Structure 1
Amino acid sequence: MLSLNNCKAGAKVENTEKIAILQKLIQIQSVNGNEAAVARYLASLFEPYRESAQVEFVTYSPGRDNLVVTIGHPNGKQLGLSGHEDVVDPGDLSQWHHDPFAGEIVDGQLYGRGASDMKSGLAAIVIAMLELLADKTPLKGSIRLLATVGEETGEYGAAQLTKAGYADQLAGLVIAEPTGLDKIAYTARGVIDYHVDSIGKSVHSAQSTKGINAIDNLIVFYNEITAMMQGLDKIDPVLGGLLHNVDLISGGEQINTIPGKARLSANVRTIPAYPNQMIYDILEKLVHRLNDRSGFQLKLSYSYPEEAIPGRPDAPLVKLAQKIGHRIIGNRVIPVGSGGASDASEFLQSKARFSAIVYGPGTNTSHEADEYVEIDEFLQATVLYRKLALAFLEGE
């Protein structure tokens, strides 16, 4: 098992060992589960520093452990460094030219499921903390690793940690999701997945007047909600407009039977101008109004909604990360918006008030076959996070 036992005081972790840590993480098959194996492995890396690092497992369910590691001084500011332990399914293996769970290296690129999203970011923040411990670097405050379960399917690990108070002392948060080290996401869309179940009455299609067509009722809902969402036409200068897409419709039993059940599922990508509660109100009022009509029986439900993150491009954490990033990569680092949700949406609901950024190594191959990360960028990230943490706690 890899560890940093041989890292002498004042020394830095060798690049070969950093890469080996990332490879080991990719070899752990944490596809929408099995995060406990990731948590145990990461915790083992902190074992040589058990007197200086507080390591906590927070179990979500069997085989699924969040990991919280805190180092530094309890007095002073606390910086959160966060990454998720789960990955999405590799899909059709015939589309891969590299084993998705091997961590193969070819021409300076490390391949595997999670190489970009986001085990490279997770490994980099862990390595940064391990190097600070190995160096015995005095910290003017503390750093907290928040390694979460279930981000890919609803951020419920982050929600659990937030509810338990693990983000209540944060003064800033860095989510190591892949942006590339030349971009920092400071604002992000929210997300609402919702479902509308329609109950009708099945009869033989030759006697359709005796039945209630559940699909027809969903079509009425579809047309009305589409028009209502199109009316929400404010444009965020960074994120753009609100997006509403009906992505799944299913129903019916066979072609000569009036459908008695049907379901519609849709995805909404919100912006700060339209908070999630406003969308809930619109959906619920429409369902209630339609259910007042004869023959309608609609039921609304949600799946893991996340709030949009407003953010400011001139926030101190953004400016500091830009400065440190520029020093490391030698190029300008640009503040941008993100179209996807992250664990930041949950952590920002804690009792503390702090800025959060998404900033991490990776490529635009997330969730694709032959997902990869550039090794040089991953190694740069390990240095960047260490320097960013020190500068943040120093109050730069």
Structure 2
Amino acid sequence: MLFPKATITQWIDAHRSEILDTYQSILRIPALSPENGGNGEWDKTRKILEILSAWGWGDWIEVIEIPDERAQKGTRPNIIITYNPTSLALDEGGCIISVAHLDVVPVGDLSQWDHDPFDPVVIEGKLFGRGTEDNGQGLICSLYGLKCIVDLQLPVSHSIKIVLVADVEMGSKYGIQPLVKQNLFNPNDLVVVPDAGVVSGLEIEVAEKIPLRVEITTEGRQGHAARPTDALNTQPIANKLATLLFDRLHSQFAGTDPLFYPPVSTFEPTKRKNNVENVNTLPGKDIQWWDCRLLPSAPKDEIQELFLSTAREIEQESGATITVEFRSHDFQVPVITADTPVVKRLQKAIGTMIPGEIKLVGIGGGTCAAFFRFEGIPAIVWGHMAHVAHETNEHCVMDYLYTDIAIFAAFFLDLD
């Protein structure tokens, strides 16, 4: 069919107030993982289920709970919405699927926010709040892209699924990882993950760097700051280790790949655990974390060995005890090529609303698309975003959102 652009944009314009109200009501509910001091995604899930039931979609919904005793109800919820108006065979020809996530990251330094991060507000066409871009924008444009089709009774020849998953920010152990193991998806599915993008909306992510997270614990002896010789202060020891690692990693593993931005592997010290409560005590323990994003060609074993050997060097020099723990995916994720059906379909959908040449790229940020790709399902990532995920004053440009709703409607339809 030809894309009914005028009809769809008129529908979106008529529903702008409703779209904003729905968006804000969902964003007001934090959905933090237990690792980040939250209780999971159930509160947000209940709100979304309430909204979908009011739309008359109750019979289309399945909630899959993955056990996690740390979370509310002892589980992490994952919502699957299936629109199958003509009873199309779900295992033949594949489904059209959008996958967004429910969880958000912590707000960080609250003093750097201009507004309450969980009371979203529109200023000069931008909606400010935690989770607006990551991943509320993808969630809302997926839901309203489908709602537009349903309300307008536009014909579809594929089943459509919207999957809203838990735990993406902490690795998807309680979300898409177990879901893809349950045979809920197949290699013929056309999967888009609206979880990363650029201002132009003209980039499709087809490859991801390999995430490597490292936890380094340095143990010495706590003591009084007036008697440093009676203690073993771990802070300068850990600082020296971090500086050496930073310099060595960037100099020894400096390979490039122009598909990615930035085109290099990245090695960044990030989180650090609070050590002592008062200023005149020398800390006897230091725990810091690194977030590394490795190019597919980077030698992960050699990188891990550099962490270990540098730690042993500082351990012998200082007398401290240093342990290094690694967390990483143990698989290589394939790159999706330009001739893949889902790439062609999304390119056509983007072209209905945004003129210009569409570029295929790789990113450093991890998305749940990687788990689809590893299972042989060619998922791609796309967004039309301000590129402010995880920042203070995170926001969504509302005009981008309304454009994206039309693009997702186009993606769900079968266009000539």
TM-score in same-fold range (> 0.5): yes
Q: Alpha-carbon deviations, 1:124-163, whole Å to 9, x = none?
A: 1112233344455554443332212232333333334334
The answer as to 2:44 corresponding to 1:38 is: yes
Q: Alpha-carbon deviations, 1:243-300, whole Å to 9, x = none?
A: 2233467798799999754434322111111265564455457768988999674322
Q: CA deviation at 1:96?
A: 4.1
Q: Which residue of 2 aligns with 1:375?
A: 398
Q: Which residue of 1 aligns with 2:360?
A: 335
Pair 1:150–1:227, CA change in 2 (3 A): same
Q: Which residue of 1 aligns with 2:72?
A: 62
Q: Which amino acid aligns with 1:347?
A: F
TM-score by length of structure 1 reads 0.77
2:138 aligned residue (121, 124, 131): 121
- Cα RMSD for the two superposed structures: 3.9
Counterpart CA distance in 2 for 1:344 and 1:81 is 10
Pair 1:327–1:138, CA change in 2 (3 A): closer
The answer as to 2:57 corresponding to 1:49 is: yes
Q: Which amino acid aligns with 1:62?
A: Q
Counterpart CA distance in 1 for 2:233 and 2:324 is 18
1:138-287 correspondence to structure 2 within 5 Å: 139-156=156-173, 157-168=175-186, 171-179=189-197, 180=199, 181-200=201-220, 219=240, 223=244, 226-227=247-248, 230-239=251-260, 240-247=263-270, 261-274=285-298, 276=300, 279-280=303-304, 283=307
Counterpart CA distance in 1 for 2:82 and 2:302 is 37
Q: Which residue of 2 aligns with 1:7?
A: none
Pair 1:44–1:222, CA change in 2 (3 A): same
Give the 3-state SS of the residue equivalent to 2:95 in structure 1: strand
Pair 1:277–1:167, CA change in 2 (3 A): farther
Q: Which residue of 2 aligns with 1:130?
A: 147
The answer as to 2:370 corresponding to 1:360 is: no
Q: CA deviation at 1:380?
A: 1.5
Q: Alpha-carbon deviations, 1:325-355, whole Å to 9, x = none?
A: 1211234333333232222233333xx3122
Pair 1:301–1:100, CA change in 2 (3 A): same
Q: CA deviation at 1:362?
A: 2.5
Q: Which amino acid aligns with 1:15?
A: H
2:345 aligned residue (320, 325, 343): 320
Counterpart CA distance in 2 for 1:58 and 1:290 is 45
Q: Which residue of 2 aligns with 1:6?
A: none
Q: Which residue of 1 aligns with 2:99?
A: 82
Counterpart CA distance in 1 for 2:134 and 2:351 is 23
**Unaligned 5+ runs, structure 2:** 1-9
Counterpart CA distance in 2 for 1:202 and 1:40 is 47
TM-score by length of structure 2 reads 0.74
Q: Which residue of 2 aligns with 1:5?
A: none
Q: Which amino acid aligns with 2:353?
A: I
Q: Which amino acid aligns with 2:212?
A: I
Count of aligned pairs between the two proteins: 379
Counterpart CA distance in 1 for 2:43 and 2:265 is 38
Give the 3-state SS of the residue equivalent to 1:355 in structure 2: coil
Give the 3-state SS of the residue equivalent to 2:287 in structure 1: strand
Q: Which residue of 1 aligns with 2:83?
A: 71
Give the 3-state SS of the residue equivalent to 1:379 in structure 2: helix
**Unaligned 5+ runs, structure 1:** 1-10
- Percentage of matched positions with identical amino acids: 21
Pair 1:339–1:92, CA change in 2 (3 A): same
1:189–1:308 contact (8 Å) kept in structure 2? no
Give the 3-state SS of the residue equivalent to 1:235 in structure 2: coil
Q: CA deviation at 1:184?
A: 2.0
1:301 aligned residue (325, 338, 345): 325
1:36–1:66 contact (8 Å) kept in structure 2? no
1:247–1:267 contact (8 Å) kept in structure 2? yes
Q: Alpha-carbon deviations, 1:37-80, whole Å to 9, x = none?
A: 222233334431344x2422424532642212233331221233
Counterpart CA distance in 1 for 2:28 and 2:118 is 5
Pair 1:115–1:76, CA change in 2 (3 A): same
Q: Which residue of 2 aligns with 1:4?
A: none
